[in-house]
Amino acid sequence: MSDARGRTGQDRIGAPPFACPAAGVAERLGTSAETGLSTAEVAARRARYGPNRLRRQKPRSAIAILAHQFKSIIVWLLAVAAGSAFAQGDLVDGAAIVVVLLINGAIGFFTELHAARSMEALFSFAELRTRVRRDGAVKMIEARELVPGDVVILEAGDVVTADLRLLAASNLQCDESVLTGESMAVGKDVAAVAADTVLGDRSCMVFKGTAVTQGAGEAIVVATGMASEIGRISGLVQAAQAEASPMERRLERLGYRLIWLTLALAVVVIALGTLRGHGLADMIQTGVALAVAAVPEGLPVVATLCLARGMWRMARRNALVNRLSSVETLGATTLILTDKTGTLTENRMRVARYLLADRDLRVAADTPLQPGADAALGWALRIGALCNNADLGAEAVAGTGDPMELALLQVARDAGLDRAVLRGEHPEVAEHAFDPARRMMVTVHARDEGYLYAAKGAPEETLAHCTQVWGADGPAPLPAAQRAQWLQRAHAAASDGLRSLALAMKRSARADDDPYDGLTLVALVCLADPLRPNVPATIAACRDAGIRVVMMSGDHAGTAVRIAREAGLCDEAPVVVEGRELVDFDPATAPPEMLARVRAAEVFARVAPETKLAVVSVFQGDGQIVAMTGDGVNDAPALRQADIGVAMGARGTQVAREAAHMVLKDDDLATIVEAVRQGRVIFDDIRKFVVYLMSCNLSEVLVVGLAVGGGLPVPLLPLQILYLNLVTDVFPAFALGLGEGAPGVMRRPPRDPAEPIVGAAQWRRIVLLGG
């Protein structure tokens, strides 16, 4: 905590900067909005606060990856058998087991090392630059050189490089989806807010890692590096504990059972032989032979090859997995907690519908609108393109500017209305920029012998300036009752999680007419972050496989519920838990009724990163195998805590990718279904070859044990048993591990997380086959 306070400069402020007036924050941080910090003061603060940089978790080293290959209890059991052989002077037997261990380790090491390097290649470390005012002059500096008290100049298109308290703002909007999960751009101003205001509502703050989509501003740096909000969340990621995978736990349980079985057999045989008059040294050698016979030496090699094959298959499908065991974990998944923005949705605003005077028109992504078929629709498309400061570029994903304005340009372009052509026909002669007080924007365009006023803004404010509405027969008077109906339509759209803008116009003979007086309402345009096309099918496939899917979003409840319904996650009356219900939520001390509500939830809305982490812990405490999907910084702690975290690679943040166990390079959620299938097939294959190998080993144990019990010479020496286990048994076992899976593998419920690889049914089969 002391580190965070020192790096934020909050020790100078004495209160959260968003709860203090802007002038007070500047004064207490010892800086001036007009001149900024001096060069000498910057040097002193850099020495105190350090560089403005996040501490990145060190990637897994080659040594750590190699050591991980030898953590299995079965590997240790084989190592003990090798040590026993060497102690008895059986150098060939011991060397044979060591070779098996090295082969197994090499396969796992090189497979995981390649995956780790592939994931490292996704991380970008391009150094950002930012504009600051120092010594009274504006200059560009490297972002890492920022210190608390610096005055930063913000413009549209900037990536924010520290946590900032606004000093001035002009139509400033920011995309905070990577931090809060809210897909809409957020308006900013300089007014202080209450000290208990949640992160997503701190309107006088802009945060490191977010982007300025519109407007301009000046702000003072209040937190850098790990003391920023993104740094705090990064710290949660590093504190979250990744658990052993279900396969690792199952193999460990199997290994312990084999240890006790081996010890019991060895003790019984040595004691029986000694009682019959055999020499102790001979019996110890026989005990070693039985131990070698009881342990399936080929199991680690075949299991590693099987998991590696699954890993390679996933890589061909653009899914990078950081560990071999992670492939099987998805197959054991019982619950998927999924983020909304950028995971279920495209994280890109699109026009969802136009509300016209006589109808509601839904906009389909694959069906362009026809502006010539309806006069009101044609004017709505033109107004949205003309009253617009965004730049769409060659493709929507390459555009710059406010996401809502980009969506208006895209729907017009899809309808055949190019903004450049429209402005050629209607040259812009004046602009009345968006005013936070009026919440409207108006542009003036020359047209014929007069002027066209194109307006857009918040429905309430825009309707207040409209005296007419464009109906089926053209402009008509807009009485108060009809204005109220339009507002009800806007509120209904908002309750569905849609963002609405009113589009209006007027014609005038003058370019200097009152831009807000006597407007004609043309339409309300409703925008949304659309669902990815394949998400409903993916959710349906998960349900067919018996996997429960729950949404966890930082966005508002209305938006989250709308997306959940479209995705097929819930019905018309879902169980929704909002973040304000889970303030300071701790699973260890939460009342039973709150835990029951969390367990029943279908949608979590407006949840903070700490809450996501706690919710994952609740379900893991119930014995669930939890997968978490996400792409934002706010998802990263839960991604690390989950049994398997799945991050988006193309649009996901670096923090999220580093926290995840699996990265989808093409952001295709359908890959998860294939991963689940692959994991289930792998478990089935591992179970098949374990049964096969142990039935072979049982035969060897019976042959050696019956010979000793009957006073006969030992028919198989340890080296001969090793040859059987590593040569004659391994290749058939590996063939069993190459199965494509049963046809109904994705239509059965997930297996019980506590179910062992070798259960009662498998033991019966081993006895039947091996006896």
pLDDT single digits (tens) 445-487: 998 889 999 999 999 999 999 999 999 889 999 999 999 999 9
Distances in whole angstroms, Cα of residue 46 to Cα of each of 6, 152, 408, 710 = 11, 16, 44, 82
Measured N-to-C along each axis, helices 324-331 and 246-275 cross at an angle, to the nearest 10 degrees, of 100
Cβ 386 vs Cβ 423: under 8 Å: yes
Which stretch, 7-11, 510-514, 681-685, 725-729, has highest mean pLDDT?
Answer: 510-514
H helical segments located in 317-402: 324-331, 375-386
Q: What is the pLDDT of residue 464?
A: 94
What is the average per-residue pLDDT within 318-337? 83
With tokens 């049994």, the residue in question is 643
Counting residues of the chain whose pLDDT is more than 90, the rounded percentage is 38
Residue 431 pLDDT greater than 60, yes or no: yes
Q: What is the pLDDT of residue 80?
A: 78
pLDDT in tens, 660-674: 888 888 888 888 888
pLDDT in tens, 210-231: 989 888 999 999 999 889 988 8
Separation of alpha carbons 406 and 184, rounded Å:
12
CA-wise closest residue to 676 among 713, 649, 700, 644: 644
Give the pLDDT band of residue 121 (cuts 50, 70, 90).
low
3-state secondary structure 230-270: HHHHHHHHHHCCCCCCHHHHHHHHHHHHHHHHHHHHHHHHH
Give the pLDDT band of residue 116 (cuts 50, 70, 90).
low
How far is Cα of residue 628 from the mean position of the Cα atoms in its chain?
7
Q: What is the pLDDT of residue 6?
A: 41
Cβ 163 vs Cβ 207: under 8 Å: yes
What is the average per-residue pLDDT within 243-247? 64
Give the pLDDT band of residue 395 (cuts 50, 70, 90).
low
Give the pLDDT band of residue 163 (cuts 50, 70, 90).
very high
Distances in whole angstroms, Cα of residue 165 to Cα of each of 177, 512, 614, 752 = 19, 37, 30, 51
With tokens 């508002």, the residue in question is 556
Q: What is the pLDDT of residue 240?
A: 57
Which stretch, 120-134, 413-427, 691-705, has highest mean pLDDT?
Answer: 413-427
Q: What is the pLDDT of residue 12?
A: 57
Residues 6+ apart with CB under 8 A from 246: 328, 329, 332, 625, 643, 753
What is the average per-residue pLDDT within 266-286? 75
Q: Are strands 548-552 and 519-528 parallel, antiparallel or unpaired?
A: unpaired
Q: What is the pLDDT of residue 486?
A: 96
What is the average per-residue pLDDT within 708-737? 75
Catalytic residues: 339
Q: Which conformational region is residue 298 in: left (phi greater than 0), alpha (psi within -120 to 50 degrees), or beta?
A: alpha
Q: DSSP class of residue 724?
A: I
Residue 488 pLDDT greater than 90, yes or no: yes
Residue 378 pLDDT greater than 80, yes or no: yes
Which stretch, 331-345, 436-450, 586-600, has highest mean pLDDT?
Answer: 586-600
Lowest mean pLDDT among 17-21, 112-116, 570-574: 112-116
Residues across the chain: 771
Residue 31 pLDDT greater than 80, yes or no: yes
Give the pLDDT band of residue 351 (cuts 50, 70, 90).
very high
Give the pLDDT band of residue 422 (cuts 50, 70, 90).
very high
Q: What is the pLDDT of residue 1?
A: 36
What is the average per-residue pLDDT within 174-187? 80
What is the average per-residue pLDDT within 545-553? 93
Separation of alpha carbons 343 and 474, rounded Å:
42
Residue 205 pLDDT greater than 80, yes or no: yes
Give the pLDDT band of residue 361 (cuts 50, 70, 90).
very high
What is the average per-residue pLDDT within 708-732? 74
Separation of alpha carbons 383 and 388, rounded Å:
8
Mean confidence (pLDDT) of the chain: 84
Separation of alpha carbons 144 and 140, rounded Å:
12
What is the average per-residue pLDDT within 223-245? 76
301 or 206, which is more confident: 206
Q: For the purposes of burial, counting CB atoms within 10 Å of the CB of 752, is it exposed (0-12), middle (13-18) or buried (19 or more)?
A: exposed
Give the pLDDT band of residue 5 (cuts 50, 70, 90).
very low
Q: What is the pLDDT of residue 442?
A: 97
Q: DSSP class of residue 714?
A: P
With tokens 């096309």, the residue in question is 533
Q: What is the pLDDT of residue 243?
A: 59
Q: What is the pLDDT of residue 337?
A: 95
pLDDT in tens, 79-108: 877 787 787 777 877 787 788 788 878 877
Cβ 142 vs Cβ 161: under 8 Å: no
Q: Identify the H or E element spanning 117.
A: helix 91-120
> What is the set of domains in the chain, with CATH numbers?
2-56+147-223 (2.70.150.10), 61-127+232-347+529-771 (3.40.50.1000), 350-528 (3.40.1110.10)
Neighbours of 67 (CB within 10 A): 12
Q: What is the pLDDT of residue 3?
A: 42
Cβ 140 vs Cβ 118: under 8 Å: no
